[in-house]
Amino acid sequence: MPRLWASIQIAGGFAMSPVGETTKSNLMQQMEMNFVTAFLCCRSSINAMRRTGAGGRIVNVASRPALEWRVGAGMVAYTASKAAVAAMTVALAEEVVKEGILVNAIAPSTMDTPANRQAMPKADHAAWPKVAEVAATILFLASPDNRVTRGTVVPVYGKA
């Protein structure tokens, strides 16, 4: 039987709008894209890891507003959906730790990508974490080298 060692939930989406302009449909879209997808992937991963009984690692992607709610002004639906990912990560980590499954998340600030540079041309791009730096954090959390870290939401902010 093939063994699933690590599951990394990186799919998601971003939308920015003030609460007064956010429709229920917009809210539900953020919850579906960010929280529900992570939840369903975690559920499937846990079930696959349980079949082998060999443990494993799960890494979710939250965001800076999931930890620092005030920076979520103007994007409340997004912030709430990523905060749900963070809360799920911590609760799930407690639920499955005795099975050898370590669950964590990262919370990046704005990452240095071409799309973000284009959207924010006057920002201090040097302060943003690089994609490779964020990936290295995920890689450690998902690796067998991570023997004890669980239930954390690791800020990956660079100098931002």
Secondary element (H or E) of residue 43: helix 37-52
Angle formed at CA 45 by CA 78 and CA 136, multiple of 5 degrees: 65
The distance of Cα 94 from the centroid of its chain, to the nearest Å, equals 17
Q: What are 78's two structure tokens?
A: 């997004």
Q: Is 94 helix (H, G, I), strand (E, B) or coil?
A: helix
Q: What is the strand order of the sheet 101-108 is part of?
A: 6-9, 56-61, 101-108, 153-156
78 is catalytic: yes
Tabulate helix, strand, coil % of the chain (nearest 5): 55, 15, 30
Secondary element (H or E) of residue 131: helix 131-142
Rg over CA atoms, the chain: 16
Identified catalytic residue from 34, 38, 78, 107: 78
Active site residues: 78
